[in-house]
Amino acid sequence: MQKKNLVVIGNGMAGARTVEDILARGGGSMFNITMFGDEPYGNYNRILLSNVLNGSQQEEEIFLNPIEWYRENNITLHVGVYAESILRKSKCVLGQDGSIEPYDKLIIATGSRSYVPPLEGLTLPDGAYKPGVFVFRTLDDCREIAEYANGCRGRAAIIGGGLLGLEAARGLQNYGVSVDVIHRSNHLMNQQLDPQAGAILKSTMEQMNVGVLLGKNTTAVLGEDRVTGLRFGDGSVLQCDMVVMAAGIKPNAEIGARCGLRVQRAIVVDNQMRSLDDSDIYVVGECAQHRGHVYGLVAPLWEQAKVLADHITGNDRNAAYHGSKVATKLKVMGVEMAAMGITEPVDERDEIVQFTEPKKGTYKKLIIRDGRLVGAILLGDISKAAYLMQAFDRNTPLPEERLTLLFDIGAPSKKVTIEELPLDAQVCNCNGVSKGAIMSCVKAGKRSPKAVMEATRAGMGCGSCKGMVSEIVELACGGEVEEDPSVHYYVPGVPVTKPELIRACREQNLKSVSAVFKALAGGKEDPASKPGIASLLNTIWAGEYVKEHDARFINERVHANIQKDGTFSVVPQIPGGVTSPAELRRIADIAEKYNVPMVKLTGGQRIDLLGIKKDDLPKIWRDLDIPSGHAYGKSYRTCKSCVGTDFCRFGVGDSTTLAIQIENKFKGIDTPHKVKMATAGCPRNCSEAMVKDIGAVAVEGGKWEIYIGGAAGAHVRKGDILCVVDSHDDVLKYSARFMQYYRENAKYLERTYGFVERIGIDKIRAVVVDDSEGIAARLDASIAASIAAYEDPWKEAYKAARPTEFVSLLPVIQ
C-alpha cells in the first residue's frame, strides 16, 4: 500500500504527542510524516520552563523529543521554519523558507502564544518590544529573561497573577531581582481559586518577599529607550527595570482563518478533532475549540491526541472526544495546590464543605451537588487530592461523613491511602496513567520508579505525581523497590558509572566515541550520549582523543553558538577583558563588512558579534585573526577581572595580569559543564569572583583567596574557599588541579556549584590541597597534557576538518 502524506504544523507538546500516538498505532507504515516547527529544537516540555528559569532543571532535561528522535522515526522536520499558509485546493503547506509540502491529511497543532495587552509604550518605533519587555512562553523567552535579569539586578514587574506569572516571579527571585506581581483581578489565580484561597496565597507570596498588586489595570510601559516603570489606570506608577507579560494565552488560529476554516476563539473542531470545513484537516491542542471550550492544560490535549490518532490511523473509527473535566494538581511558589471544577456554588442544591487555617497557608473547600463533587480547592495540604480528583472525574457518590473528605480521621498512614485507591484510579492526569497500569508494569518486571515512569509515562508531564507513583511502585514491590542502576550511569547510552567508564577507556585503549559504544554498549549508539562521552574522552586522552563529527553538538562542530534564527554568534578571545584600539577597530570593520546585525558587550568582558551566517564563519575568523573565545561549548569560557593594582586605588593584587594568565592557560579545556572564572584585586569583589565556578580574590599581605563552586545565574551561591595562597603561580596550580578533579569526577552537565555541594568542600580541599589520596601529581600532569594539546579551533578557517561543515543548507532535518 502506497503511503499517504501527513503534514503536521506545529512541533510543540500537542503536535509531537499526536505523532507519537500515530506511530504507536502503526502510522509509520501508513504515512510519510512531515512536521513544521517554529523553534530551532525538537519538542520540549513547556510545563517545565519555569524550572529552567528558576534553575532547578537544565535545558537539556526538559526535552521530550530531541532532533535524533525525528530521524529515528523517519520524520522530516522543518526545524525553525514557520508554516505560512495552507493551500486547501492544491492540498499543500507553504513554509516561510519557500518549502512546499503536499499533504493527504493535515494536522494543525500551532498551540498558543502569550497574550500581550495593548499597552502604551510597549514597543519601539520599529515595532520591537522595548528593551526590558518580555513574554514567557518559549525556551528562548526563558533565556532572554534570565540574561536580562542577570544584568539588571533591579526590580521586575510580572503582569499576570495566574500560574505562569507566579512561576516567573519565583524564577526571577533567584537572579537577585525584586519582584512585583500585578493582577487585574481582585485575587490571585482567579481561574483556579476563590477569593479566600487567593488571599491566603497572596499572604504566602508576600512572606516570600514578592509584592502583589491586585485590581490594577496596567495602561502604559514607561521609559524612552528601555523600561523604567509601569503606569496604571488609576494614575499610580510602579518603578521597575523589566516587565514580563504573563496575562494569559491566545490560540494561534490565524493559519486556519487564512485558509477558510471556521475560527471563533480557536479553530472549531468536531468530536473526531477534524475541522468543521475540511475532513482532511485535523486540529489538536490549544489552537482547537471543541464545544466552545479551548483547553490549556496537558491532560485534555493528550485525550485529544489519542482520539485523533485512533481516527486518522483507522485504529478506532468510532473514537470520539467529548470534552474534558478539568482538574489539576500543581505547585506554585513552593505551595502545593489542587483545583477542579467550579470555585463557587452556582445552584441552590450546592453544598459547601470548608476548612481554613491562614497562618499555616492551608485552605480546603469542596462544592457538592446531589452527593457528588462538582468543585474543589485544596491549598497547602493536598493529601486528599488523589481521592477527590478521582471522585470528581468519575462522578462517584461521596460518603455522608463529609469531614473524611478533608481529613484522614484517625490519621491513617499515606500507605493506607495508596492501598485504598482503586486500580482504575487515575494517578497521572497529564498522561492518563492509572494505579492499575503502574501495578501491572511492576508485575511485568519494572521494579524501580524510574523504569515504571519511562514505561508508562506517569510523572513525565508536570511531574507532580512522581511521589505517588513511587509509593505505588513501593506498594507493588512489597517494599522491596529496586534501585535503577541507570541513575548512576555517566550517560544513558553506556551502562556503566563514570569511574568504570574511565577505567574501561584506559584499559581498553578506547579513544573514540564509536569505539566506546562498540566495546561497552554492544555497538548500539545513543546520539544523546555522544557529547558527554566525547567530552570525557578529551579529558582522558587529551591530544590522543580521536574526534568524530557526529559526536558533538552543532555549537562544538562549527565553534560558534547557534541562535534561535539559525544564525551564529562569534566571540573572539579578549584575555582579562583587555583589548587595544587596533583590535577594536578590526572588530568594528568586520562587523560592517559582514553586516553583523548586533554587536554586544558580554558579561564576561568580551565582544559578541551576533547574527552571523554559517558560511561566513570561517571568513570572519580569518579576517579577525584573533583566537576563539570558546563562548559556545561545555568548557572553560572566560576569566573576568577588575582593574586591580594597575589603576584602582583600592587594589591590593594584580588581578588583570592573573586573569590574562588564567585565560591563556585554560582556553578551550573541555569540562562537564561550562566553567566561568574571575579575579578580583581586592575584597570589594567588583568582578564577582566569589560567585564564579573558580575565583581568586586578592587580600592584604599579597595573598589570594581561591573560591570554588560559586554561581550567579539561576542559582546564586557564594563559592567556598578552597585555600589561601601567596602567588599567581599558586592560584594557577590549585585552580588547575581542582578543574581536573572536577573534570574526572563530576556528572555530565553538572555545574561546579552542584559538584562542590555534592562532594563537600572538606573532601575537595583534602584531595586538591592536602593531597590526601596521593593523586595531586597525576591531576597536575593530566590537565597539563590537555593544555599542551590545545589547538585554536578557528584555525579551521584555513583548513576545515570537514569541507561541507560551513555550507548553509535549508533548515530541514530528514
pLDDT digits (tens, 9 = 90+) for 164-179: 899 899 888 888 889 9
- Alpha-carbon Rg for the chain, nearest whole angstrom, is 28
What pLDDT shows up at residue 413?
Answer: 40
What pLDDT shows up at residue 463?
Answer: 72
What is d(CA 490, CA 529) in angstroms, rounded to the nearest whole number?
9
Q: What is the pLDDT of residues 135-194, one digit of tens each?
A: 999 999 999 999 898 877 789 999 999 988 998 998 888 888 899 999 999 999 999 999
- Closest-CA residue to 118 (of 190, 191, 217, 215): 217
What pLDDT shows up at residue 814?
Answer: 43
What pLDDT shows up at residue 182?
Answer: 98
* Per-residue pLDDT at 89 exceeds 80: yes
Report yes or no: 463 and 449 within 8 Å, Cβ to Cβ: no
Q: What is the mean pLDDT of residues 615-627?
A: 94
Q: Which residues contact 795 (CB under 8 A, 6 or more apart)?
A: none
What is d(CA 763, CA 18) in angstroms, rounded to the nearest whole number?
49
Q: What is the pLDDT of residues 782-793, one digit of tens each?
A: 999 999 999 999
| Residue 694, CA distances (Å) to 57, 359, 458, 545, 737 in order | 22, 43, 39, 26, 11
Q: In percent, how much of the chain has pLDDT > 70?
A: 97
Amino acid code (one letter) for 293: H
What is d(CA 532, CA 668) in angstroms, rounded to the nearest whole number?
16
* Per-residue pLDDT at 599 exceeds 80: yes
3-state SS, residue 93: strand
End-to-end CA distance of the chain: 22
β-bridge partners, 102: 92
Band (811; pLDDT cuts 50, 70, 90): very low
What pLDDT shows up at residue 808?
Answer: 55
Any idea what the Cα angle at residue 576 is, between residues 573 and 579, rounded to 5°?
65
What pLDDT shows up at residue 549?
Answer: 78
Which of 119-128, 205-214, 446-455, 514-523 shows the lowest mean pLDDT across its residues? 446-455
What pLDDT shows up at residue 571?
Answer: 97
Q: Which residue has the cell 546585525?
A: 597
- Closest-CA residue to 10 (of 117, 138, 135, 115): 138
- 248: cell is 494569559
Q: What is the pLDDT of residues 278-335, one digit of tens each?
A: 999 999 999 999 999 999 888 899 999 999 999 999 999 999 999 998 888 887 777 8
> What is the chain's length?
814
Q: What is the mean pLDDT of residues 212-219?
A: 96
- Closest-CA residue to 114 (of 132, 133, 138): 138
Report yes or no: 244 and 227 within 8 Å, Cβ to Cβ: no
Q: Measured in whole angstroms, how far is the alpha carbon of residue 447 from the centre of its chain?
A: 29
Any idea what the Cα angle at residue 295 is, between residues 294 and 296, rounded to 5°?
125
- 294: cell is 479551548
Domains in the chain with CATH codes: 4-112+251-313 (3.50.50.60), 133-247 (3.50.50.60), 412-484 (1.10.10.1100), 489-552 (no CATH), 633-791 (3.30.413.10)
Band (480; pLDDT cuts 50, 70, 90): confident
Report yes or no: 560 and 554 within 8 Å, Cβ to Cβ: no
What pLDDT shows up at residue 411?
Answer: 39
Burial 396-415 (b: 16+ CB within 10 A, else e): eebeeeeeebbeeeeeeeee
* Per-residue pLDDT at 276 exceeds 60: yes
The pTM assigned to this predicted structure is: 0.64
Report yes or no: 163 and 170 within 8 Å, Cβ to Cβ: no
Report yes or no: 147 and 246 within 8 Å, Cβ to Cβ: no
Q: Which residue has the cell 570561517?
A: 618
What pLDDT shows up at residue 416?
Answer: 41
Report yes or no: 402 and 373 within 8 Å, Cβ to Cβ: no
Report yes or no: 672 and 655 within 8 Å, Cβ to Cβ: no
Q: What is the mean pLDDT of the chain?
A: 91
What is d(CA 75, CA 77) in angstroms, rounded to the nearest whole number?
6
Q: What is the pLDDT of residues 400-425, one digit of tens each?
A: 889 889 986 543 344 446 777 788 77
- 284: cell is 489538536
3-state SS, residue 483: coil
Sign of CA dihedral 127, 133, 138, 143: positive
DSSP character for 124?
Answer: -
What pLDDT shows up at residue 804?
Answer: 62
* Per-residue pLDDT at 703 exceeds 50: yes
Strand residue runs (E) in 424-525: 426-428, 433-434
3-state SS, residue 79: strand
Q: Which residue has the cell 511502585?
A: 473
Q: What is the mean pLDDT of residues 660-669?
A: 96
β-bridge partners, 812: 78
Q: What is the pLDDT of residues 326-342, one digit of tens each?
A: 888 887 777 889 999 99
What pLDDT shows up at residue 431?
Answer: 75
What is d(CA 783, CA 319) in angstroms, rounded to the nearest whole number?
61
Q: What is the pLDDT of residues 529-562, one digit of tens each?
A: 898 999 999 999 988 999 887 788 788 888 998 8
Q: What is the mean pLDDT of residues 660-671?
A: 96
Q: What is the pLDDT of residues 358-370, one digit of tens each?
A: 988 999 999 999 9
